[in-house]
Amino acid sequence: MFSRTALLLSFLAIAASGFSARPSSKNTVQDAHDQLTKKLRCWEPIEENIAGTNFSGKHTLSDPIYDLCSYMPDPEDWNKGLVNGVEVDSDDDTTTNALNFFKAPQHGYAMINVCLQEAIQIGRLSKSQISLRCLCKRDGCNLPKEFTTFLDFNKYPTPEISF
């Protein structure tokens, strides 16, 4: 009897002290405005995706160190997304300009995602590569799922997570 009681109390203590995620009490606009000036936690792969290696497909949330989060649908399979955090470098006009979209809050309005279709040419004679990159400015907004799930996820306030 004592072991069952001790086990039950241990379980309740762990459950009470563990993390939980609950819906936010804010709406999406309020959530976006509240996160404008803070560093973000972004989804990142748990290991580097180096050519010739097998990527596990597992991701984790970073520490709050990024200015923006990035999501790029895989051009070969839109059911996959490539995610990472982005630190704004003053030499990178693209991310600096995208960040300006988020920094113009208006009452009742907020930018959620900025998606850019980009053409990149490496070398003078090479064919251009086309990609789509979405930048967002809320904790965990670059959800590593299929593209439509990423877009749907960002329609709502970020879930509040506590430890």
Distance of alpha carbon 61 from alpha carbon 129, whole angstroms: 29
Distance of alpha carbon 48 from alpha carbon 108, whole angstroms: 39
Q: Which of 109, 120, 116 is nearest to 86 (CA)?
A: 116
The pTM for the full model equals 0.75
Give burial (CB, 10 Å; 0-12/13-18/19+) of 24. Answer: middle
For 51-91, what is each residue's pLDDT tens digit? Answer: 555 667 789 999 999 999 999 998 888 888 899 999 887 55
For 110-126, what is each residue's pLDDT tens digit? Answer: 999 999 998 888 888 77
Beta-sheet pairing, 77-86 with 68-74: antiparallel
Location of structure tokens 């290991």: 47
What's the one-letter identity of residue 146? Answer: E
